[in-house]
Amino acid sequence: MTTWPLHGLRLGCREVSLRPVREADLPALAAILPADFEQDPRLELFPGLSDEHNQRRLFYQGYWKALGTWSPSSWVLHFAVAYRGELIGVQTLEGDDFPVLRTVDSASWLVPEVRGRGLGVAMRTAVLGLSFDHLGAVAAVSSAVAGNAASLGVSRRIGYTDNGVGLIAVPGGGVAELQHLRLTAEAWQTAGHGRTVTVDGLEPCLPWFGLI
Ligand SMILES: CC(C)(COP(=O)(O)OP(=O)(O)OC[C@H]1O[C@@H](n2cnc3c(N)ncnc32)[C@H](O)[C@@H]1OP(=O)(O)O)[C@@H](O)C(=O)NCCC(=O)NCCS
């Protein structure tokens, strides 16, 4: 029996393949972390580090925190995304009170060189296929600052609909508008996106999601 079966999980959608980030991936992924990937603005920055160094440090700590605090009632799964044999970004899937709420949230980033060719849609579709067709999710939510056309574009392309707006504090003291979106299991099934997704290695992971 594998003690940590999540490392054996494999997802695919069209040209991208996804596997959970491993500690050995951290240097390579941190080295390609794009400048426009926004960490949670509530995270503390170390004054002695450059912005870039803080971003990379927070990326490492996000990985360790996700593994160290995993429980079926609160989990964060970071997937390394590969395309043509290269790591190109990270797709994150999250669930809070998932056994009860059956709702997932997501976040992602890609290196700038491969954006705009549908890979953002493919990697989000992969984790939604896992969520709706294998974990029994009833809804997926997403949020993006109002000016993030690429993130909103991914959500709308897949069929999320607007679910209200909120405000978020930004570094330096300002406030930004956050667009919330939601996709139901019914809309996902009607669109038939799941046909493009492959999921392997899930069965031993089911207790991690509170499903056995
Ligand atoms: C968000 C991100 C992962 C999307 O990936 P992508 O590969 O660029 O997106 P896709 O090519 O799959 O495009 C998805 C949709 O958004 C649209 N889109 C993409 N970039 C766009 C832009 N800059 N302006 C307007 N629309 C855009 C596309 O046209 C497409 O819609 P369509 O299929 O209806 O034409 C990527 O742009 C990124 O890493 N951004 C920086 C990090 C970030 O902001 N992450 C999200 C917040 S966590």
103-117 in b/e burial notation, b at 16+ Cβ within 10 A? bbebbbbbbeebeee
Of ligand 1's listed atoms, the one at least distance from the Cα of 92 is 48
pLDDT score at 180: 98
- Where in the chain are the domains? 8-140+184-209
By residue count, the chain amounts to: 212
Q: Which residue bears the tokens 């974990």?
A: 135
Tell me the CATH number of domain 8-140+184-209, given options 1.10.3720.10, 3.10.105.10, 1.10.10.60, 3.40.630.30.
3.40.630.30
121 pocket-lining for ligand 1 (C-beta < 6 Å): yes
Each residue of 115-173: pLDDT tens digit? 999 999 999 999 999 999 999 999 999 999 989 999 999 999 999 999 999 999 887 78
Give distance in angstroms: CA of 212 to centre of ligand 1.
36
Give distance in angstroms: CA of 198 to centre of ligand 1.
22
Give distance in angstroms: CA of 151 to centre of ligand 1.
5
Residue 133: which of 187, 79, 90, 188 has the closest Cα? 188
DSSP strands (E only) in the chain = 10-13, 16-20, 74-83, 86-96, 103-110, 139-145, 161-169, 175-184, 197-200
Q: Rounded to an integer, what distance in angstroms lies between the CA atom of residue 95 and that of residue 114? A: 28
Average pLDDT over residues 180-199: 98
